[in-house]
Chain A
Amino acid sequence: MYTTDLSGKGKAETAAAEDPAMLATFEARVAADEFIEPKDWMPEAYRKTLIRQISQHAHSEIVGMLPEGNWITRAPNLRRKAILLAKVQDEGGHGLYLYCAAETLGVSRDEMTEALLSGKAKYSTIFNYPTLTWADIGAIGWLVDGAAIMNQVPLQRTSYGPYARAMVRICKEESFHQRQGYEIMMHLAAGTEAQKRMAQDALNRWWWPSLMMFGPPDDKSPNTEQSLRWRIKRDTNDELRQKFVDITVPQAEAIGLTVPDPALKWNEERGAYDFGDVDWEEFYAVVRGEGAVAKERMQARQKAWEDGAWVREAARVHAEKKAVGNRQLAVGAR
Chain B
Amino acid sequence: MVSALPPLADYAARLGDDSLVLGQRLGEWCGHAPAIEVDLSLSNVALDLIGQATHFLGLAGAIEGAGRDADKLAFHRDVMDFSNCLLVEQPNGDFAQTIARQFLFSHYQALLFEQMAQVKDERFAAIAAKALKEVNYHATLASDWVVRLGDGTDESKARMIAGLDWMWRFTDELFAMDDVDAAAIAAGAGVDKAALRADWDARVDAVLAEATLARPAARRAIVGGRVGRHSEHLGHLLSEMQFLQRAYPGASW
Contact with B along A294-321 (1 / 0, CB 8 A): 0000001001100111111111011001
Contact with B along A76-95 (1 / 0, CB 8 A): 11111110011011001101
- 14 residue pairs from A and B, CB less than 8 Å apart: A73-B28, A74-B240, A78-B54, A92-B43, A187-B253, A191-B252, A308-B38, A313-B152, A313-B156, A314-B148, A314-B155, A317-B152, A317-B153, A318-B148
Shortest Cβ distance from A109 into B: residue: B36
Task: Assess the A92–B39 pair: CB atoms within 8 A.
Answer: yes
Task: Assess the B31–A95 pair: CB atoms within 8 A.
Answer: no
Q: Does A211 contact B (CB under 8 A)?
A: no
List chain A residues, Cβ under 8 A from B148. Answer: 314-315, 318
Those of B184-225 within 8 Å (CB) of chain A: none
List chain A residues, Cβ under 8 A from B175. Answer: none
Those of B5-62 within 8 Å (CB) of chain A: 20, 23-24, 27-28, 30-40, 43-44, 46-47, 50-51, 53-54, 57
Task: Assess the B31–A88 pair: CB atoms within 8 A.
Answer: yes
Ranked 6 nearest A-B pairs via Cβ: A308-B34, A314-B152, A314-B156, A76-B253, A69-B31, A311-B34
Task: Assess the B50–A85 pair: CB atoms within 8 A.
Answer: yes
Task: Assess the B152–A134 pair: CB atoms within 8 A.
Answer: no
Q: A295 CA to B149 CA in the complex, in Å?
A: 32
Task: Assess the A81–B244 pair: CB atoms within 8 A.
Answer: no
Q: A69-B30, A73-B240, A78-B54 are in contact. List 10 more A-B contacts (CB 8 A).
A: A72-B27, A73-B27, A77-B245, A187-B252, A194-B251, A195-B248, A307-B94, A310-B155, A314-B153, A317-B152
Task: Assess the B34–A73 pair: CB atoms within 8 A.
Answer: no
Of A75, A81, A311, A318, the contact of B151 (CB 8 Å cutoff): A318
Stretch at the interface among B70-78, B79-87, B113-121: B70-78
Task: Assess the B159–A310 pair: CB atoms within 8 A.
Answer: yes
Task: Assess the A92–B24 pair: CB atoms within 8 A.
Answer: no
Contact with A along B140-158 (1 / 0, CB 8 A): 0000000111011101100
Shortest Cβ distance from B94 into A: residue: A307
List chain B residues, Cβ under 8 A from A65. Answer: 30-31, 39
Given A73-B240, A315-B148, the answer on whether A308 and B33 have CB atoms closer than 8 Å is: yes
Q: A318 CA to B38 CA in the complex, in Å?
A: 16
Given A77-B253, A318-B151, the answer on whether A85 and B30 have CB atoms closer than 8 Å is: yes
Task: Assess the A76–B70 pair: CB atoms within 8 A.
Answer: no
Task: Assess the A85–B34 pair: CB atoms within 8 A.
Answer: no
List chain A residues, Cβ under 8 A from B50. Answer: 78, 81-82, 85
Q: A269 CA to B240 CA in the complex, in Å?
A: 52
Q: A80 CA to B44 CA in the complex, in Å?
A: 15
- A residues within 8 Å of B by Cβ? 62, 65-66, 69, 72-82, 85-86, 88-89, 92-93, 95-96, 99, 134, 187-188, 191-192, 194-195, 300, 303-304, 307-315, 317-318, 321
Task: Assess the B251–A192 pair: CB atoms within 8 A.
Answer: yes
Given A77-B253, A89-B43, the answer on whether A62 and B36 have CB atoms closer than 8 Å is: yes
Q: Does B166 contact A (CB under 8 A)?
A: no
List chain B residues, Cβ under 8 A from A303. Answer: 32
List chain B residues, Cβ under 8 A from A73. Answer: 24, 27-28, 240-241
Q: A78 CA to B70 CA in the complex, in Å?
A: 8
Shortest Cβ distance from A297 into B: residue: B31
Task: Assess the B30–A80 pair: CB atoms within 8 A.
Answer: no
Q: A226 CA to B171 CA in the complex, in Å?
A: 63
Task: Assess the A308–B36 pair: CB atoms within 8 A.
Answer: no
List chain A residues, Cβ under 8 A from B31. Answer: 65-66, 69, 88, 92, 300, 304
List chain A residues, Cβ under 8 A from B57. Answer: 78
Q: A192 CA to B153 CA in the complex, in Å?
A: 55
Given A73-B27, A82-B51, the answer on whether A92 and B149 have CB atoms closer than 8 Å is: no
Of A85, A93, A187, A304, the contact of B33 (CB 8 Å cutoff): A304
Q: A315 CA to B95 CA in the complex, in Å?
A: 13
Q: A8 CA to B54 CA in the complex, in Å?
A: 49
List chain B residues, Cβ under 8 A from A195. Answer: 248, 251
Q: A194 CA to B50 CA in the complex, in Å?
A: 28
List chain A residues, Cβ under 8 A from B37. Answer: 96
List chain B residues, Cβ under 8 A from A62. Answer: 36
List chain B residues, Cβ under 8 A from A317. Answer: 152-153, 156
List chain B residues, Cβ under 8 A from A96. Answer: 36-37, 40
List chain A residues, Cβ under 8 A from B74. Answer: 77-78
Task: Assess the B32–A72 pair: CB atoms within 8 A.
Answer: no
| B26 CB, min distance to chain A CBs, angstroms | 9
List chain A residues, Cβ under 8 A from B248. Answer: 192, 194-195
